[in-house]
Chains A and B, each alone.
Chain A
Protein backbone atom coordinates (compact mmCIF):
# COMPACT_ATOMS: atom_id res chain seq x y z
CA UNK A 1 0.00 0.00 0.00
CA UNK A 2 1.43 3.33 -0.99
CA UNK A 3 0.45 6.93 -1.16
CA UNK A 4 -0.42 8.39 -4.54
CA UNK A 5 1.06 11.72 -3.63
CA UNK A 6 4.59 11.76 -2.32
CA UNK A 7 7.09 14.39 -1.37
CA UNK A 8 10.34 14.54 -3.28
CA UNK A 9 13.68 15.00 -1.60
CA UNK A 10 16.98 13.20 -1.85
CA UNK A 11 18.14 13.82 1.68
CA UNK A 12 15.14 14.63 3.87
CA UNK A 13 13.78 11.07 4.25
CA UNK A 14 17.22 9.93 5.40
CA UNK A 15 17.38 12.64 8.02
CA UNK A 16 13.91 11.68 9.22
CA UNK A 17 14.61 8.00 9.48
CA UNK A 18 18.17 8.37 10.78
CA UNK A 19 17.40 8.52 14.53
CA UNK A 20 15.35 5.35 14.44
CA UNK A 21 17.86 3.51 12.27
CA UNK A 22 20.76 4.61 14.46
CA UNK A 23 19.10 3.37 17.62
CA UNK A 24 17.97 0.03 16.24
CA UNK A 25 21.36 -0.62 14.65
CA UNK A 26 23.33 0.15 17.81
CA UNK A 27 20.97 -1.35 20.37
CA UNK A 28 19.18 -4.00 18.37
CA UNK A 29 21.00 -5.34 15.35
CA UNK A 30 24.51 -5.06 16.70
CA UNK A 31 23.69 -6.94 19.94
CA UNK A 32 21.58 -9.49 18.08
CA UNK A 33 24.49 -10.10 15.70
CA UNK A 34 26.89 -10.38 18.65
CA UNK A 35 24.58 -12.94 20.22
CA UNK A 36 24.70 -15.01 17.06
CA UNK A 37 28.51 -14.73 16.85
CA UNK A 38 28.96 -15.51 20.49
CA UNK A 39 26.80 -18.57 20.26
CA UNK A 40 29.48 -20.09 18.02
CA UNK A 41 32.31 -19.16 20.36
CA UNK A 42 33.63 -20.35 23.65
CA UNK A 43 34.83 -17.60 25.96
CA UNK A 44 36.29 -17.84 29.41
CA UNK A 45 34.49 -15.98 32.17
CA UNK A 46 36.95 -13.08 32.20
CA UNK A 47 36.77 -12.43 28.49
CA UNK A 48 40.46 -13.11 28.04
CA UNK A 49 40.23 -15.55 25.19
CA UNK A 50 37.75 -16.60 22.57
CA UNK A 51 37.63 -19.70 20.53
CA UNK A 52 35.49 -20.59 17.55
CA UNK A 53 33.68 -23.78 18.42
CA UNK A 54 31.02 -24.07 15.76
CA UNK A 55 27.85 -25.69 16.94
CA UNK A 56 29.36 -26.99 20.15
CA UNK A 57 27.40 -24.60 22.37
CA UNK A 58 24.17 -25.73 20.80
CA UNK A 59 25.25 -29.35 21.02
CA UNK A 60 25.96 -28.95 24.70
CA UNK A 61 22.64 -27.26 25.31
CA UNK A 62 20.69 -29.96 23.56
CA UNK A 63 22.57 -32.63 25.49
CA UNK A 64 21.95 -30.86 28.76
CA UNK A 65 18.91 -32.32 30.48
CA UNK A 66 18.40 -29.15 32.52
CA UNK A 67 17.97 -27.13 29.31
CA UNK A 68 15.55 -29.62 27.83
CA UNK A 69 13.61 -29.57 31.08
CA UNK A 70 13.52 -25.81 30.95
CA UNK A 71 12.07 -26.14 27.45
CA UNK A 72 9.33 -28.44 28.64
CA UNK A 73 8.62 -26.23 31.63
CA UNK A 74 8.36 -23.19 29.40
CA UNK A 75 5.93 -25.01 27.12
CA UNK A 76 3.80 -26.13 30.05
CA UNK A 77 3.91 -22.69 31.62
CA UNK A 78 2.93 -20.84 28.44
CA UNK A 79 0.10 -23.28 27.67
CA UNK A 80 -1.27 -22.86 31.18
CA UNK A 81 -0.91 -19.08 31.14
CA UNK A 82 -2.30 -18.59 27.64
CA UNK A 83 -5.07 -21.15 28.02
CA UNK A 84 -6.48 -20.07 31.35
CA UNK A 85 -5.85 -16.39 30.69
CA UNK A 86 -7.76 -16.49 27.42
CA UNK A 87 -10.61 -18.63 28.78
CA UNK A 88 -11.19 -16.47 31.86
CA UNK A 89 -11.00 -13.22 29.90
CA UNK A 90 -13.44 -14.55 27.32
CA UNK A 91 -15.99 -15.42 30.00
CA UNK A 92 -15.66 -11.98 31.58
CA UNK A 93 -15.87 -10.21 28.21
CA UNK A 94 -19.02 -12.09 27.17
CA UNK A 95 -20.83 -11.10 30.33
CA UNK A 96 -19.48 -7.57 30.20
CA UNK A 97 -20.72 -7.26 26.63
CA UNK A 98 -24.24 -8.16 27.75
CA UNK A 99 -24.72 -5.49 30.34
CA UNK A 100 -25.21 -1.77 30.11
CA UNK A 101 -25.29 -0.70 33.73
CA UNK A 102 -21.98 -0.28 35.55
CA UNK A 103 -20.15 -1.57 32.46
CA UNK A 104 -17.61 1.23 32.83
CA UNK A 105 -17.00 0.45 36.49
CA UNK A 106 -16.31 -3.22 35.85
CA UNK A 107 -14.11 -2.40 32.91
CA UNK A 108 -12.05 0.14 34.83
CA UNK A 109 -11.50 -2.26 37.72
CA UNK A 110 -10.60 -5.15 35.46
CA UNK A 111 -8.02 -3.07 33.59
CA UNK A 112 -5.91 -2.23 36.64
CA UNK A 113 -3.57 -5.27 36.61
CA UNK A 114 -2.29 -4.17 33.20
CA UNK A 115 -0.71 -1.17 34.90
CA UNK A 116 0.99 -3.25 37.59
CA UNK A 117 4.63 -4.14 36.98
CA UNK A 118 5.24 -7.89 36.64
CA UNK A 119 7.68 -7.86 39.52
CA UNK A 120 5.09 -6.17 41.75
CA UNK A 121 2.48 -8.71 40.67
CA UNK A 122 4.96 -11.35 41.80
CA UNK A 123 5.44 -9.63 45.16
CA UNK A 124 1.67 -9.31 45.70
CA UNK A 125 1.00 -12.98 45.06
CA UNK A 126 3.96 -14.13 47.12
CA UNK A 127 2.52 -12.11 49.95
CA UNK A 128 -0.84 -13.93 49.63
CA UNK A 129 0.77 -17.35 49.31
CA UNK A 130 3.70 -16.90 51.68
CA UNK A 131 4.21 -20.16 53.60
CA UNK A 132 4.57 -18.34 56.90
CA UNK A 133 2.21 -15.36 56.75
CA UNK A 134 0.14 -15.69 53.58
CA UNK A 135 -3.60 -15.23 53.95
CA UNK A 136 -4.46 -17.78 51.29
CA UNK A 137 -1.91 -20.19 52.74
CA UNK A 138 -3.63 -19.83 56.10
CA UNK A 139 -7.11 -20.56 54.77
CA UNK A 140 -5.83 -23.41 52.61
CA UNK A 141 -4.32 -24.79 55.81
CA UNK A 142 -7.66 -24.50 57.57
CA UNK A 143 -9.13 -26.53 54.73
CA UNK A 144 -6.47 -29.14 55.28
CA UNK A 145 -4.26 -28.29 52.29
CA UNK A 146 -0.64 -27.53 53.01
CA UNK A 147 0.89 -24.83 50.79
CA UNK A 148 4.59 -24.22 50.51
CA UNK A 149 5.75 -23.18 47.08
CA UNK A 150 9.33 -23.03 48.33
CA UNK A 151 9.33 -26.79 48.76
CA UNK A 152 6.81 -28.01 46.22
CA UNK A 153 7.50 -27.85 42.47
CA UNK A 154 3.88 -28.01 41.39
CA UNK A 155 2.80 -25.31 43.78
CA UNK A 156 5.64 -23.05 42.67
CA UNK A 157 4.51 -23.46 39.07
CA UNK A 158 0.90 -22.83 40.10
CA UNK A 159 1.95 -19.63 41.87
CA UNK A 160 3.69 -18.12 38.85
CA UNK A 161 0.85 -19.19 36.57
CA UNK A 162 -1.72 -17.52 38.83
CA UNK A 163 0.30 -14.31 39.05
CA UNK A 164 0.94 -14.26 35.28
CA UNK A 165 -2.68 -14.91 34.37
CA UNK A 166 -3.81 -12.27 36.84
CA UNK A 167 -1.59 -9.73 35.17
CA UNK A 168 -2.55 -10.63 31.61
CA UNK A 169 -6.31 -10.94 32.05
CA UNK A 170 -6.98 -7.23 31.48
CA UNK A 171 -5.24 -7.29 28.12
CA UNK A 172 -7.16 -10.31 26.86
CA UNK A 173 -10.39 -8.93 28.26
CA UNK A 174 -10.04 -5.65 26.36
CA UNK A 175 -9.41 -7.44 23.07
CA UNK A 176 -12.33 -9.80 23.49
CA UNK A 177 -14.62 -6.97 24.44
CA UNK A 178 -13.52 -4.94 21.41
CA UNK A 179 -14.00 -8.04 19.25
CA UNK A 180 -17.48 -8.71 20.59
CA UNK A 181 -18.53 -5.13 20.15
CA UNK A 182 -17.38 -5.07 16.55
CA UNK A 183 -19.71 -7.93 15.63
CA UNK A 184 -22.56 -6.36 13.66
CA UNK A 185 -25.70 -6.05 15.77
CA UNK A 186 -27.83 -7.06 12.78
CA UNK A 187 -26.32 -10.53 12.85
CA UNK A 188 -27.22 -11.09 16.47
CA UNK A 189 -30.68 -9.66 15.96
CA UNK A 190 -31.34 -11.88 12.96
CA UNK A 191 -30.33 -14.93 14.96
CA UNK A 192 -32.53 -13.76 17.79
CA UNK A 193 -35.53 -13.45 15.50
CA UNK A 194 -34.83 -16.94 14.22
CA UNK A 195 -35.25 -18.05 17.78
CA UNK A 196 -31.62 -18.64 18.76
CA UNK A 197 -31.12 -18.25 22.49
CA UNK A 198 -28.15 -16.58 24.13
CA UNK A 199 -26.22 -19.82 24.28
CA UNK A 200 -26.84 -20.69 20.60
CA UNK A 201 -25.90 -17.17 19.54
CA UNK A 202 -22.68 -17.35 21.49
CA UNK A 203 -21.75 -20.77 20.20
CA UNK A 204 -22.73 -20.31 16.55
CA UNK A 205 -22.07 -16.64 15.91
CA UNK A 206 -19.95 -14.86 18.46
CA UNK A 207 -17.36 -17.53 19.12
CA UNK A 208 -16.58 -18.24 15.43
CA UNK A 209 -16.34 -14.53 14.72
CA UNK A 210 -13.97 -14.16 17.67
CA UNK A 211 -11.59 -16.82 16.36
CA UNK A 212 -9.15 -14.36 14.73
CA UNK A 213 -8.99 -12.40 18.00
CA UNK A 214 -8.48 -15.62 19.92
CA UNK A 215 -5.69 -16.73 17.64
CA UNK A 216 -4.02 -13.36 17.83
CA UNK A 217 -4.26 -13.42 21.63
CA UNK A 218 -2.86 -16.93 21.70
CA UNK A 219 0.33 -15.76 19.98
CA UNK A 220 0.57 -12.62 22.10
CA UNK A 221 -0.02 -14.57 25.31
CA UNK A 222 2.63 -17.11 24.45
CA UNK A 223 5.13 -14.33 23.77
CA UNK A 224 4.04 -12.75 27.05
CA UNK A 225 4.55 -16.00 28.97
CA UNK A 226 7.96 -16.44 27.36
CA UNK A 227 9.37 -12.99 28.13
CA UNK A 228 7.29 -10.63 30.20
CA UNK A 229 6.97 -12.98 33.13
CA UNK A 230 10.61 -12.59 34.10
CA UNK A 231 9.77 -10.14 36.88
CA UNK A 232 7.01 -12.35 38.25
CA UNK A 233 9.32 -15.34 38.45
CA UNK A 234 12.21 -13.35 39.90
CA UNK A 235 9.99 -12.01 42.67
CA UNK A 236 7.93 -15.12 43.33
CA UNK A 237 10.21 -18.14 43.04
CA UNK A 238 13.55 -17.10 41.55
CA UNK A 239 13.37 -20.14 39.34
CA UNK A 240 13.08 -22.50 42.28
CA UNK A 241 12.63 -24.74 44.07
CA UNK A 242 15.57 -26.36 42.32
CA UNK A 243 15.01 -25.42 38.68
CA UNK A 244 11.30 -26.09 38.69
CA UNK A 245 10.17 -22.62 37.61
CA UNK A 246 13.23 -21.59 35.63
CA UNK A 247 11.71 -21.00 32.21
CA UNK A 248 13.91 -20.26 29.18
CA UNK A 249 14.25 -16.51 29.63
CA UNK A 250 15.08 -16.97 33.29
CA UNK A 251 17.71 -19.53 32.40
CA UNK A 252 19.36 -17.16 29.90
CA UNK A 253 19.72 -14.69 32.75
CA UNK A 254 20.88 -17.27 35.29
CA UNK A 255 23.45 -18.88 32.99
CA UNK A 256 24.65 -15.59 31.50
CA UNK A 257 24.78 -13.21 34.43
CA UNK A 258 24.96 -15.51 37.40
CA UNK A 259 27.05 -18.37 36.05
CA UNK A 260 28.88 -16.33 33.35
CA UNK A 261 28.53 -19.04 30.73
CA UNK A 262 28.59 -16.56 27.87
CA UNK A 263 28.58 -18.94 24.92
CA UNK A 264 25.84 -21.07 26.40
CA UNK A 265 23.72 -18.08 27.26
CA UNK A 266 24.19 -16.65 23.77
CA UNK A 267 23.18 -19.95 22.20
CA UNK A 268 20.06 -19.88 24.35
CA UNK A 269 19.35 -16.33 23.19
CA UNK A 270 19.63 -17.41 19.57
CA UNK A 271 17.20 -20.28 20.11
CA UNK A 272 14.78 -17.90 21.83
CA UNK A 273 15.05 -15.44 18.92
CA UNK A 274 14.25 -18.22 16.46
CA UNK A 275 11.16 -19.12 18.48
CA UNK A 276 9.93 -15.53 18.50
CA UNK A 277 10.59 -15.08 14.81
CA UNK A 278 8.65 -18.28 14.11
CA UNK A 279 5.76 -17.08 16.25
CA UNK A 280 5.77 -13.73 14.47
CA UNK A 281 5.70 -15.37 11.06
CA UNK A 282 2.84 -17.63 12.13
CA UNK A 283 0.96 -14.65 13.46
CA UNK A 284 1.30 -12.61 10.30
CA UNK A 285 0.61 -15.54 8.00
CA UNK A 286 -2.63 -16.44 9.69
CA UNK A 287 -3.84 -13.35 11.42
CA UNK A 288 -3.43 -11.05 8.44
CA UNK A 289 -5.42 -13.45 6.30
CA UNK A 290 -8.08 -14.34 8.78
CA UNK A 291 -8.64 -11.03 10.43
CA UNK A 292 -11.19 -9.79 7.92
CA UNK A 293 -14.53 -11.27 8.73
Chain B
Protein backbone atom coordinates (compact mmCIF):
# COMPACT_ATOMS: atom_id res chain seq x y z
CA UNK B 1 0.00 0.00 0.00
CA UNK B 2 1.45 3.32 -0.97
CA UNK B 3 2.28 5.81 1.73
CA UNK B 4 -0.25 8.38 0.60
CA UNK B 5 -3.05 5.85 0.56
CA UNK B 6 -2.36 4.79 4.14
CA UNK B 7 -3.18 8.26 5.33
CA UNK B 8 -6.25 8.67 3.14
CA UNK B 9 -8.69 7.60 5.90
CA UNK B 10 -7.12 10.16 8.24
CA UNK B 11 -7.63 12.85 5.64
CA UNK B 12 -11.31 11.88 5.32
CA UNK B 13 -11.61 12.13 9.10
CA UNK B 14 -9.96 15.54 9.03
CA UNK B 15 -12.37 16.80 6.39
CA UNK B 16 -15.31 15.47 8.38
CA UNK B 17 -14.13 17.13 11.58
CA UNK B 18 -13.45 20.41 9.74
CA UNK B 19 -16.93 20.47 8.20
CA UNK B 20 -18.59 19.63 11.49
CA UNK B 21 -16.58 22.17 13.49
CA UNK B 22 -17.68 24.79 10.98
CA UNK B 23 -21.28 23.75 11.52
CA UNK B 24 -20.95 23.88 15.30
CA UNK B 25 -19.48 27.37 15.00
CA UNK B 26 -22.07 28.55 12.46
CA UNK B 27 -25.32 26.99 13.64
CA UNK B 28 -27.91 25.92 11.12
CA UNK B 29 -29.94 28.80 9.78
CA UNK B 30 -33.37 27.31 9.21
CA UNK B 31 -34.47 30.33 7.21
CA UNK B 32 -34.99 29.85 3.51
CA UNK B 33 -34.49 33.27 1.92
CA UNK B 34 -36.25 34.13 -1.32
CA UNK B 35 -34.17 34.10 -4.47
CA UNK B 36 -36.23 36.90 -5.96
CA UNK B 37 -34.49 39.70 -4.09
CA UNK B 38 -33.24 42.15 -6.71
CA UNK B 39 -35.72 40.78 -9.21
CA UNK B 40 -39.11 42.11 -10.29
CA UNK B 41 -42.20 40.87 -8.50
CA UNK B 42 -44.00 38.05 -10.24
CA UNK B 43 -47.33 39.21 -11.66
CA UNK B 44 -50.31 38.52 -9.44
CA UNK B 45 -53.72 39.93 -8.61
CA UNK B 46 -55.37 39.04 -5.31
CA UNK B 47 -58.96 39.74 -4.33
CA UNK B 48 -59.64 41.86 -1.30
CA UNK B 49 -59.06 40.18 2.04
CA UNK B 50 -61.61 42.35 3.88
CA UNK B 51 -64.55 44.28 2.57
CA UNK B 52 -64.01 48.01 2.19
CA UNK B 53 -60.32 47.74 1.44
CA UNK B 54 -58.83 47.04 -2.01
CA UNK B 55 -57.14 43.77 -2.88
CA UNK B 56 -53.53 43.63 -3.98
CA UNK B 57 -52.09 43.44 -7.50
CA UNK B 58 -48.42 43.34 -8.41
CA UNK B 59 -48.95 46.56 -10.39
CA UNK B 60 -50.01 48.32 -7.16
CA UNK B 61 -46.44 47.86 -6.03
CA UNK B 62 -44.82 49.65 -8.97
CA UNK B 63 -46.26 53.13 -8.54
CA UNK B 64 -43.01 55.02 -8.02
CA UNK B 65 -42.79 54.76 -4.24
CA UNK B 66 -41.24 51.88 -2.29
CA UNK B 67 -43.70 49.90 -0.16
CA UNK B 68 -43.61 47.08 2.34
CA UNK B 69 -45.62 43.94 1.65
CA UNK B 70 -46.39 42.08 4.84
CA UNK B 71 -47.40 38.41 4.67
CA UNK B 72 -49.50 37.58 7.70
CA UNK B 73 -52.37 35.41 8.91
CA UNK B 74 -54.91 35.77 11.67
CA UNK B 75 -54.06 32.24 12.90
CA UNK B 76 -50.36 33.01 13.21
CA UNK B 77 -49.31 33.90 16.74
CA UNK B 78 -46.05 35.77 15.92
CA UNK B 79 -48.05 37.92 13.49
CA UNK B 80 -49.93 39.40 16.41
CA UNK B 81 -46.58 39.96 18.08
CA UNK B 82 -45.23 42.10 15.25
CA UNK B 83 -48.38 44.26 14.98
CA UNK B 84 -47.01 47.13 17.15
CA UNK B 85 -43.88 47.29 15.00
CA UNK B 86 -45.98 47.52 11.84
CA UNK B 87 -47.88 50.37 13.47
CA UNK B 88 -44.59 52.09 14.25
CA UNK B 89 -43.50 51.74 10.64
CA UNK B 90 -46.82 53.13 9.48
CA UNK B 91 -46.38 56.10 11.80
CA UNK B 92 -42.91 56.66 10.37
CA UNK B 93 -44.61 57.11 7.02
CA UNK B 94 -43.92 53.71 5.51
CA UNK B 95 -46.74 52.58 3.24
CA UNK B 96 -47.63 48.94 3.96
CA UNK B 97 -49.72 46.47 2.02
CA UNK B 98 -50.54 42.97 3.13
CA UNK B 99 -51.17 39.50 1.86
CA UNK B 100 -53.31 37.36 4.14
CA UNK B 101 -52.30 33.72 3.87
CA UNK B 102 -54.91 30.97 4.13
CA UNK B 103 -57.40 33.20 5.86
CA UNK B 104 -61.08 34.12 6.04
CA UNK B 105 -62.44 37.61 5.74
CA UNK B 106 -64.14 37.58 9.17
CA UNK B 107 -61.01 36.28 10.89
CA UNK B 108 -58.83 38.92 9.22
CA UNK B 109 -61.32 41.59 10.25
CA UNK B 110 -61.28 40.40 13.86
CA UNK B 111 -57.47 40.28 13.83
CA UNK B 112 -57.22 43.84 12.50
CA UNK B 113 -59.76 45.14 15.01
CA UNK B 114 -57.79 43.58 17.81
CA UNK B 115 -54.22 44.29 16.78
CA UNK B 116 -54.59 47.36 14.56
CA UNK B 117 -54.71 47.88 10.84
CA UNK B 118 -51.64 49.54 9.30
CA UNK B 119 -52.42 48.23 5.80
CA UNK B 120 -53.46 50.19 2.70
CA UNK B 121 -54.45 47.10 0.73
CA UNK B 122 -54.99 43.51 1.74
CA UNK B 123 -54.94 40.70 -0.79
CA UNK B 124 -56.25 37.29 0.15
CA UNK B 125 -54.10 34.27 -0.74
CA UNK B 126 -56.13 31.25 0.39
CA UNK B 127 -53.87 28.58 -1.17
CA UNK B 128 -50.51 30.30 -0.55
CA UNK B 129 -50.01 30.70 -4.31
CA UNK B 130 -48.63 34.20 -4.25
CA UNK B 131 -46.64 33.34 -1.17
CA UNK B 132 -44.98 30.51 -3.09
CA UNK B 133 -44.56 32.75 -6.13
CA UNK B 134 -42.68 35.24 -3.96
CA UNK B 135 -40.38 32.61 -2.55
CA UNK B 136 -41.70 33.08 0.96
CA UNK B 137 -41.40 30.16 3.35
CA UNK B 138 -43.88 31.06 6.08
CA UNK B 139 -45.67 33.78 8.00
CA UNK B 140 -44.94 36.43 9.02
CA UNK B 141 -42.59 37.75 6.38
CA UNK B 142 -42.14 41.25 4.97
CA UNK B 143 -40.81 42.35 1.60
CA UNK B 144 -39.54 45.80 0.68
CA UNK B 145 -40.54 46.52 -2.93
CA UNK B 146 -39.15 49.58 -4.70
CA UNK B 147 -41.13 51.97 -6.89
CA UNK B 148 -40.51 49.92 -10.04
CA UNK B 149 -41.86 46.71 -8.55
CA UNK B 150 -38.47 45.17 -7.79
CA UNK B 151 -38.08 43.22 -4.53
CA UNK B 152 -35.26 44.83 -2.59
CA UNK B 153 -35.29 43.21 0.82
CA UNK B 154 -36.92 40.34 2.67
CA UNK B 155 -37.48 40.14 6.39
CA UNK B 156 -38.17 36.59 7.60
CA UNK B 157 -40.10 36.06 10.82
CA UNK B 158 -41.79 38.62 13.07
CA UNK B 159 -40.48 42.19 13.04
CA UNK B 160 -38.97 42.82 16.45
CA UNK B 161 -38.63 46.38 17.80
CA UNK B 162 -34.91 46.23 16.93
CA UNK B 163 -35.74 45.48 13.30
CA UNK B 164 -37.74 48.66 12.68
CA UNK B 165 -34.74 50.96 11.95
CA UNK B 166 -33.34 48.36 9.59
CA UNK B 167 -36.57 48.25 7.63
CA UNK B 168 -36.79 52.03 7.47
CA UNK B 169 -33.22 52.10 6.22
CA UNK B 170 -34.05 49.52 3.55
CA UNK B 171 -37.04 51.63 2.53
CA UNK B 172 -34.76 54.65 2.10
CA UNK B 173 -32.30 52.62 0.07
CA UNK B 174 -35.13 51.47 -2.15
CA UNK B 175 -36.05 55.09 -3.02
A joins B in a complex: no
